[in-house]
Amino acid sequence: MEKICNFGEHLTIDGYYGNFEKLNDEKLVKFCLNELPDRVGMHKLADPEVYFAPENLNNKDSGGWSGFVVITESHISIHTFPYRGFVSIDVYTCKNGMDIDFISNYFVDKFELKDIETNFIKRGMKYPIENINN
């Protein structure tokens, strides 16, 4: 019988009633993507990328900043919606023991969020602890 473990952890944060200027600040989004990996013991494979996403064709998206950083352990992404005071964040890592409170509070502080929803998922629950193919 093969031995298994969980592959990693995935935290999603939906932030509400954030500060318009901070949610609309390209440099702040990039700063967060650059700083957070170091603060939580993750390792960047490349510099963060941030793009302006113009207003979409649907009624939900009035435009904002989308950014991501690829880390050795997986990725972190941020999507801001300044006109809605909303941000959608993903922190996905193959490490175990993610500090959910630290990461959540980090973003509450950076974007002055008044409310958040978080979801935490253990990923790859049947991940083999040894190579199964040579």
Give the CA distances from residue 37 to residues 94, 100, 122, in Å, rounded to whole numbers and listed in that order.
Answer: 13, 13, 19
User: Do 99 and 107 meet the contact criterion of CB atoms below 8 Å apart?
Assistant: no
| DSSP count for the chain of H helices, then E strands | 3, 8
Tokens of 2: 């093969």
Catalytic annotation on 79?
A: yes
Q: Among residues 62, 66, 75, 94, which one is catalytic?
A: 94
Q: Among residues 10, 74, 77, 104, which one is catalytic?
A: 74
Q: Among residues 62, 66, 75, 79, which one is catalytic?
A: 79
Catalytic annotation on 10?
A: no
Catalytic annotation on 77?
A: no
Active centre residues (catalytic):
74, 79, 94
